[in-house]
């Protein structure tokens, strides 16, 4: 079958659903690839690059829709594009079926199968197809870059001969994929970064990235993100009021606010009110990533950048991924390719639309003349945060002392038992008739060495085993010296054993040096 990608007709959309690299991977699955002329130009992919990858270039969108069995797009199709669909054809794109019910019905009347990339369930197996996360990651990164472009100071603090520059303070509202990307970017640029989210399980993720999590002094059990497909649940009115009160408290001290709070299928919650904007310092910046659904900021204007009377810049762009079209297209095309891999298990160029598969079923909006949206919940739930373990009970001084005494007594009994067993073994060997006294002297030294070495090595913490290589190298050197003395023996057996001893000790020495060198290289920047 043929997979075709038309040029996006949405104004300002530069992304493309197929790249030359993804086309090669699709061809390995048995498909033929087509693309409309100029479709990849906005993302930096020329028609010649597609031809070199074995892709057929169609002159018009009509010709492509007519020839392709599967159409891969970025934006939802327009009414005109929907009319070009035919029975049995498959459309793969962002579709938003909950918001585009009429569009879904029109595609279903045409008999087309619609796979909505925005409906891929958020389960572990589907991460490679999660196009929403791919685009949100780029949007979060780009939001910080846009904020920096409109902010009049450095992100990082500096002390120079000309004076001291304080670091920027960045607040990220919503610690989902976009929020975490924004946190990582702002932190790496040197800003003091704060983050807030209604899901308490993300606090550790935020702190691990070097940001400070903003906690509310409010007792309410929040629903775990796993129960809502990885998204935040709707908060109670009391929690929302406490949240706004906290934002009003910190707003005057924040330089840059990036809001990412959005639940699919709902309007964006209003989290940054007009009085909060009024309380911010002149020159501050707000980037509203939820502008397409009404915005988290009261004053956001979709697809525009405005400056308030008190000098606060509010950015409501909705095309952040398209502003990095090459990177966005590469990631999105990879998501499409993974979806096609799941649809083509036999790699024979013939899709197998298995409605028993959680991922395929979840992403399918229409199939075989039926509207299949909304899908049933996946059999495998999203990964939830591990439940908090109860803190171990604090022991009293008497209990600690009793535990230490018990451990010491147990260890003493073990060591005494080992010594007694060793002594009995040596005595038994010494009582063997004809056993020479010289052998017993060497044997006793050998047994004591093994015992002491065992006690020393066994009690070393795992983290210290690599530095211990230096000690083992010294021991191996002694073994080599002893073996060199014995290798000239008149006995063939002794010579063979000495040679084997030299060989094995040499492996230990050189291996120890290699491991130690590798360990030290971990701490070198060069």
**Tens digit of pLDDT for each residue in 425-475?**
888 888 888 778 777 888 888 877 777 777 666 666 655 555 555 566 667
Distance CA(204)–CA(77), nearest Å, equals 40
186 vs 383: which has the higher pLDDT: 186
Taking Cα atoms as reference points, which of 177, 178, 131 lies closest to residue 335? 131
Angle at 482 between CA 481 and CA 488, to 5 degrees: 100
Of 27-41, 85-99, 511-525, where does mean pLDDT reach its minimum?
511-525
> Catalytic: which of 22, 89, 93, 133?
133
pLDDT the model gives residue 222: 54
Confidence of residue 388 (pLDDT cuts 50, 70, 90): low
Mean pLDDT for the stretch of residues 26-31: 96
pLDDT at 160: 85
Mean pLDDT of 251-272: 89
Q: Which CATH superfamily is domain 136-318 in?
A: NAD(P)-binding Rossmann-like Domain (3.40.50.720)
CATH superfamily placement of domain 2-128+324-371: NAD(P)-binding Rossmann-like Domain (3.40.50.720)
DSSP letter for 255, please: S
Query: How many Cβ atoms are within 10 Å of 505's Cβ, its own excluded?
Result: 21
Of the listed 127, 415, 455, 489, which one is catalytic?
127
Q: Tell me whether residue 133 is one of the annotated catalytic residues.
A: yes
Supply the pLDDT for residue 317: 95
Average pLDDT over every residue of 34-38: 97
Exactly one of 14, 25, 69, 130 is catalytic; which is it? 130
pLDDT tens per residue across span 332-343 = 999 999 999 999
Residue 290: pLDDT over 90: yes
Same fold, 2-128+324-371 and 136-318: yes
Question: Pseudo-torsion of CA 298, 263, 135, 2, nearest 10°?
Answer: -130
Query: In this predicted structure, which of 33-47, 80-94, 178-192, 482-496 has the lowest mean pLDDT?
Result: 482-496
DSSP category for residue 200: G
Beta sheet of 169-173, edge-to-edge order: 212-213, 192-196, 169-173, 256-259, 285-288, 313-315, 305-307
Burial class (CB in 10 A: 0-12, 13-18, 19+), 421: exposed
240-260 mean pLDDT: 94
pLDDT score recorded for residue 297: 95
pLDDT tens digits for 59-86?
Answer: 999 999 999 999 999 999 999 999 999 9
DSSP result, 34-48: EEETTTTGGGT--HH
More confident residue, 21 or 200: 21
Average pLDDT over residues 159-168: 90
Residue 57 in 3-state DSSP?
strand
Q: What is the pLDDT of residue 85?
A: 95
Contact call for residues 335 and 17 (beta carbons, < 8 A): no
- Whole-number Å distance between alpha carbons of 344 and 516: 47
Assess whether pLDDT exceeds 60 at residue 274.
Answer: yes
Q: Is the pLDDT of residue 385 over 70?
A: no
Looking at the predicted structure, is the pLDDT value of residue 526 above 80? no
pLDDT at site 63:
96
User: What are the φ and ψ backbone dihedral angles of 160, each rounded to 5 degrees?
Assistant: -125, 175
Q: Catalytic site residue 127?
A: yes
> Does the structure show a pLDDT above 60 at 278?
yes
Name the catalytic one among 231, 279, 319, 329: 231
Per-residue pLDDT band for 487 (boundaries 50, 70, 90) equals confident
pLDDT(384) > 60: no
Distance (Å, whole) CA 19 – CA 35? 10
231 is catalytic: yes
Q: So what's the pLDDT on residue 505? A: 85
User: In this structure, what token pair is assigned to residue 421?
Assistant: 């067993």
Active site residue 194: no
pLDDT at 219 over 70: no
Q: Kindly list the domain boundaries of the chain, sorted by start residue.
A: 2-128+324-371, 136-318, 460-525
Please count the residues of the chain.
526
Check whether 220 has a pLDDT greater than 70.
no
pLDDT of residue 380: 59
Furthest C-alpha separation in the chain: 106
At 223 the pLDDT is: 53
Name the catalytic one among 122, 199, 337, 361.
122
Is residue 89 annotated as part of the catalytic site, yes or no?
no
Flag whether pLDDT at 208 surpasses 60.
yes
3-state secondary structure of 314: strand
* The most confident of 205-214, 414-423, 438-447, by mean pLDDT: 205-214
Q: Given a cut of 80, is residue 30 above it in pLDDT?
A: yes
Strand-pair partners of 32: 2
Residue 198: exposure state from Cβ atoms within 10 A (0-12, 13-18, ≥19):
buried
Position 513 confidence tier, pLDDT thresholds 50, 70, 90: confident
Is 80 exceeded by the pLDDT of residue 353? yes
Which pLDDT score is estimated for 51?
Answer: 96
Mean pLDDT of the chain: 88
């Amino acid at each position: 079958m043929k997979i075709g990608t038309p040029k996006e007709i949405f104004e300002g959309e530069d992304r493309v659903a197929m790249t030359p690299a993804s086309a090669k991977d699709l061809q390995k699955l048995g498909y033929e690839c087509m693309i409309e002329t100029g479709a990849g130009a906005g993302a930096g992919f020329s028609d010649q690059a597609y031809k070199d990858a074995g892709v057929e270039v169609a002159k018009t969108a009509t010709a492509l829709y007519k020839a392709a069995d599967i159409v891969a797009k970025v934006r939802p199709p327009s009414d005109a594009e929907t009319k070009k669909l035919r029975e049995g054809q498959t459309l793969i794109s962002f579709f938003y079926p909950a918001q585009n019910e009429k569009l879904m019905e029109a595609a279903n009347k045409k008999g087309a199968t619609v796979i909505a990339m925005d409906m891929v369930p958020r389960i572990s197996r589907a991460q490679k197809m999660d196009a929403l996360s791919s685009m949100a990651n780029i949007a979060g990164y780009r939001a910080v870059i846009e904020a920096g472009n409109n902010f009049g100071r450095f992100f990082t603090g500096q002390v120079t001969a000309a004076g001291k520059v304080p670091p920027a303070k960045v607040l990220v509202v919503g610690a989902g994929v976009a929020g975490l990307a924004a946190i990582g970017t702002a932190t790496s640029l040197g800003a003091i970064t704060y983050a807030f989210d209604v899901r308490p399980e993300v606090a550790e993720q935020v702190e691990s990235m070097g940001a400070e999590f903003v906690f509310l002094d409010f007792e309410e059990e929040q629903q775990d993100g796993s129960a809502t497909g990885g998204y935040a649940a709707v908060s109670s009115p009391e929690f929302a009021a406490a949240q706004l009160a906290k934002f009003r408290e910190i707003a005057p001290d924040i330089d840059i606010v990036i809001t990412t709070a959005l639940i699919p299928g709902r309007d964006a919650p209003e989290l940054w009110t007009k009085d909060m904007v009024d309380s911010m310092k002149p020159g501050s910046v707000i980037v509203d990533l939820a502008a397409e659904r009404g915005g988290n900021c009261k004053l956001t204007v979709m697809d525009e950048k405005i400056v308030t009377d008190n000098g606060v810049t509010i950015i409501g762009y909705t095309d952040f991924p398209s502003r990095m079209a090459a990177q966005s297209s590469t990631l999105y095309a990879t998501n499409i390719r993974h979806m096609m891999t799941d649809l083509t298990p036999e790699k024979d160029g013939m899709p197998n639309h298995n409605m028993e598969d959680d991922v395929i079923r979840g992403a399918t909006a229409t199939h075989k003349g039926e509207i299949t949206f909304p899908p049933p919940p996946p059999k495998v739930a999203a990964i939830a945060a591990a439940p908090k373990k109860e803190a171990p009970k604090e022991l009293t001084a008497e209990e600690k002392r009793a535990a230490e005494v018990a451990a010491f007594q147990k260890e003493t009994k073990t060591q005494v038992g080992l010594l007694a067993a060793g002594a009995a073994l040596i005595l038994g060997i010494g009582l063997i008739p004809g056993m020479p006294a010289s052998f017993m002297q060497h044997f006793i030294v050998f047994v004591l060495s093994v015992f002491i070495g065992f006690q020393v090595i066994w009690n070393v913490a795992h983290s210290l085993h690599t530095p211990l290589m230096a000690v083992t190298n010294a021991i191996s050197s002694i073994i080599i010296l002893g073996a060199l003395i014995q290798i000239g023996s008149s006995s063939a057996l002794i010579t063979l054993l000495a040679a084997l001893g030299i060989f094995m000790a040499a492996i230990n020495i050189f291996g120890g040096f290699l491991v130690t060198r590798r360990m030290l290289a971990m701490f070198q920047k060069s």
